[in-house]
Every structure is written in C-alpha cells, then in structure tokens.
Amino acid sequence: MILIDHLFDVPLDHDDPGGERIEVFAREARAPGGEGLPWLVYLQGGPGGRSPRPLAADGWLARALKTHRVLLLDQRGTGRSAPADLASRDARYFSRLRADAIVRDCEHIRRAMGVERWETLGQSYGGFVTLTYLSMAPEALKACYVAGGLPSVSATADDVYARTYPRVLSRTRQFYRRHPADAERVRAILDRLSAREVLLPDGDRLTPHRFRTLGLGLGMGAGFERLHWLIEDGERLSDDFLDQVMRATSFTANPLFALMQESIYGQGGKPTAWAAERALADHPSFAPAADSLLFTGEMIYPWMFDEIRSLRPYARAAHELAAIDDWPPLYDAERLAANRVPVAAVVYHDDMYVDAGLSLETAETVGNVRVWVTNEWQHDGLTASGERVLDRLMNLAL
C-alpha cells in the first residue's frame, strides 16, 4: 500500500471565498501500480471523527484497493484538518463544519485533483454527508456506498431522540439479560459514586450520571463485552478502572462529537435547543437525578460542558449552536427523489444509533437506492467485516 498526503486550502465559508481560509487534509491510499484506478472517497462517521490511519491494507480498505484509489478525508475540523486553537473557536466557526460544507470541500478537492467523477463510501455520519452530496452535486458521483448511515431527510433532532431513547432502553435491557450479575455490580458502583466524591485521573468528578454515559458503546458489536469487563472490576474503583472510565467518557479525542451531535439535524427555522435533554421529560428514567440502572447512549446533555474537562472550553459555543434557528437545508428532497446515481446501503436492523425505520423510509423516497437489511452486525459492520460488507455493497450497486 502506498500512502500520499494531500493538503488543500479552502474557504471556511464557501459563500465567502475572500474570507477566512482553512486547511483540509486527505490521505491517498493505493495499491502499487494502482495510480490509474478510479477514486473512492471515504467519508468517516462521527460527527467529528477523523479518517482512519491505516496500519495495513486490511478490512474494507483491502477490498477497496483491489479496484480503487482511496481518498481518506479528514473532514474539516477533524484530525489534520483541525486548527491548533480549535477550543477557542466560536459558534460561527463550528456552524461551518456541517455536511454541506464538507461536500463543498469534496468538490473543491475533486476539481483540484482533476477528477471528473468519483465514488463515495459513507460510514455512519458519512452516510448523512453522502445524501447531502447527492442533494448538492450528484453530477460528481458515479456510485455511493453507505454503511449504517441512511438519515431521514426531514426528521428533526426531536424526532431522532424520540426514537433513540427506546432503542437505548432496549439495548440496556439486553445487556442485563446477557450479564445479569452486572445489575448488582452497577448498583454498588452507583451507590459509591453517590455517597462520596470520586475523582478521575484528570480531576473531574465521576458522578453517577457520567458513569451511565458508558452506554454509548453498547451499540457496537463488542459493546456488551467491553462494558461487562469494565464493570466486573468496577466495585473496587481502582486506578485502572477510573482511567478506563475517564478515557471512555471524556471526549478528549473527539470533542466535536459532543459539540456537533445535535446540529447535524438542524434545518429550517427551528433550533435544536438541546433535544436530548428536553426529551427526558418523556423518558425520566434516563435523567441524571433518576435512581436508575439505565445507561445512556448517543445523547449529549448541557451538563457535559460543565462537568467534563475537555468540553468546558466549548460550553459557550455549544449553547449558541443549540440556539441557531436559521440552519440552511442539508437535503434536497426533489433532487433526491429524482436521483439516478446508484446508491447501495446496508441498514443494520438493530442499530442503536441510526434508526432503521427512518433509514428504510429514506430508501423509499430516494431514487436508485438498493438496501441490504441485516442484523448480523450492530453499527460497526464495516469495521468488523469490512471486506465482506464493502464487496456486497459494490455488487449491489451494479
């Protein structure tokens, strides 16, 4: 495998090309002798996730390199496309990091590289970006592959979280059925965290509600086991246990995930306004004050920006983003309905993060989409069995 780094200078606001400029990084991966192969752009999940740093040509990348050159894009604000002073940026800056701007970056890069058309592979949030791409510049695309990331083109953040809480509840119950002894262990941990101050290695207090955010990982294939092994030693609140909890709940590696989580659903004249927090009124057993064994999932709450060290610098921007009420549209329903670009998507039937029902509704309304529905994997099929998953998607798009 040959890796080549590329750096591009683009406007922060593509509608203001004379304004602030930012750098966007992408890494080209190709097999020896593959310089004439067509391009496949990898759109990472997240939001806020940097592109993979490959150690070998394996998994989905192994399949891709048989037939394509791959462009591993660090979406703006992530990885080497993030400024050194990211934490000091304001809401205006962060509002320019959504899917519409990522697509315009892709188009800038495509033209700069002299590519007529290319294909995309969107993992999770990368599938959201894919549908925005099909809305804005379908003429640039030969085919699109989506793994666990067909979004609703009309759902608000409120609609999304109305479905998210029941899925997380179901997943938590499944966890306790698989590991019934962990209910007693979790109760003991929560009681100790309520009774006295327990500090994480970075100085943050480990509260019961922060501990319950470990449920974010339950939607992955090995999520049950990872949480089980952590809980098994948790009653001692050892240094190792606290270090693992800190790493899993701190967002140090990806603060944008917390900051941008709800804004990716912002469209039209309604603010997202902390949708996950407001939805607690209908799901009070998930609330921080609830004496509950329930874990939370892909929900971001205002308290995180007060209590989590790595997120505190982003608190003001987070509240300002939640108040924005003039988000531009991310999807063009008419153009998507008339779409002729082949789209192949795998929908994970039991996906905790991306609602399968909404994904299938989208597949019904977007033209030229072929869907493969499976419960063989959770949300991480492309990671767990990437070569097999991508090969089937590519064949499905033919």
pLDDT at 179: 98
Residues noted as catalytic: 124, 326, 379
According to CATH, the superfamily of the domain at 2-153+330-396 is Alpha/Beta hydrolase fold, catalytic domain (3.40.50.1820)
Q: Where are the domains of the chain?
A: 2-153+330-396, 157-323
User: What confidence score (pLDDT) does residue 226 get?
Assistant: 97
Q: What is the pLDDT along the chain (398 residues), one digit of tens a residue?
A: 999 999 999 999 999 999 999 999 999 999 999 999 999 999 999 999 999 999 999 999 999 999 999 999 999 999 999 999 999 999 999 999 999 999 999 999 999 999 999 999 999 999 999 999 999 999 999 999 999 999 999 999 999 999 999 999 999 999 999 999 999 999 999 999 999 999 999 999 999 999 999 999 999 999 999 999 999 988 889 999 999 999 999 999 999 999 999 999 998 889 999 999 999 999 999 999 998 999 999 999 999 999 999 999 999 999 999 999 999 999 999 999 999 999 999 999 999 999 999 999 999 999 999 999 999 999 999 999 999 999 999 999 99
pLDDT score, position 268: 80
**The 3-state secondary structure of the chain, one letter per residue:** CEEEEEEEEEECCCCCCCCCEEEEEEEEEECCCCCCCCEEEEECCCCCCCCCCCCCCCHHHHHHHHHCEEEEECCCCCHHHCCCCHHHCCHHHHCCCCHHHHHHHHHHHHHHCCCCCEEEEEECHHHHHHHHHHHHCHHHEEEEEEECCCCCCCCCHHHHHHHHHHHHHHHHHHHHHHCCHHHHHHHHHHHHHHHCCCECCCCCECCHHHHHHHHHHHHCCCHHHHHHHHHHCHHHCCHHHHHHHHHHHCCCCCHHHHHHCCHHHCCECCCCCCHHHHHHHCCHHHCCCCCCCCCCCCCCCCCHHHHCHHHHHHHHHHHHHHHCCCECCCCCHHHHHCCCCCEEEEEECCCCCCCHHHHHHHHHHCCCEEEEEECCCCCCHHHHCHHHHHHHHHHHCC
Indicate the pTM of the whole model.
0.97
